[in-house]
Amino acid sequence: MTKLTEAISVKTIDVPLNNNNFVKSLLNHLSGSLQDIIGLEEAEGFISIVGSKLGEQIDFQYREALNVEKLSRTQLTEVLIDLKARIDGDFYVLEEFPDKIVFGNKHCPFGSDVYDRPALCMMTSNVFGVIAAENTGYAKVSIDESIARNHDHCKVTVYLSPDDTADGREYYCSD
């Protein structure tokens, strides 16, 4: 048995470990630990801070690449869908109105480990909210349904003007 074991090279074995899987596992375990230790609301607060910073960074990257000062309404929708596709999400527009965009999603970028980790939804809320607010002046994001809450899909509404009847987190332009 020892000779057989020694004959197998570590470099050739199939271990499902790569940068992407490692980072997903890290975030899932971190969010789970935060939820378990300090509670869901506080965990969402911590993840919101990171999500806001990422939102600012991603917004800057897209505006720079598109060579625009502000994203147009069409570009905003396209950017929100594209950024999720680039990180292995499957977001699409369910409905679009002048004052809101409703997105669906069939695949969470955090993978199957996202179940029972709703604090991770604050990444979507903050990234979408910051990008929308920086380009339209205001946004409110509501995570109406989520894979993290054991739905088979996500439904995310981005309001582009104040709506006191809608639940969600509000975001404002930093200018």
Residue 80 maps to which CATH number? 3.30.1380.20
Print burial letters for 89-98: b (CB count within 10 Å at least 16), e (below 16): bebeeeeeee
Q: Domain total for the chain? A: 1
Structural domain of residue 98, as residue ranges? 2-172
Spatial distance between the Cα atoms of 23 and 140, rounded to a whole number of angstroms: 28
pLDDT of residue 3: 57
Token digits for 128? 């979408």
pTM of the model as a whole: 0.89
pLDDT of residue 112: 83
Which DSSP string do the residues of 128-161 spell out, in sequence order? HHHHHHHHHSEEEEEEEE-GGGT-SSEEEEEESS
Residues 124, 90 contacting (CB under 8 angstroms):
no
Where the chain has pLDDT below 50, the residues are 1
Spatial distance between the Cα atoms of 52 and 58, rounded to a whole number of angstroms: 10
Per-residue pLDDT tens for 1-15?
455 556 788 888 888
The chain-wide mean pLDDT, for the chain, equals 93
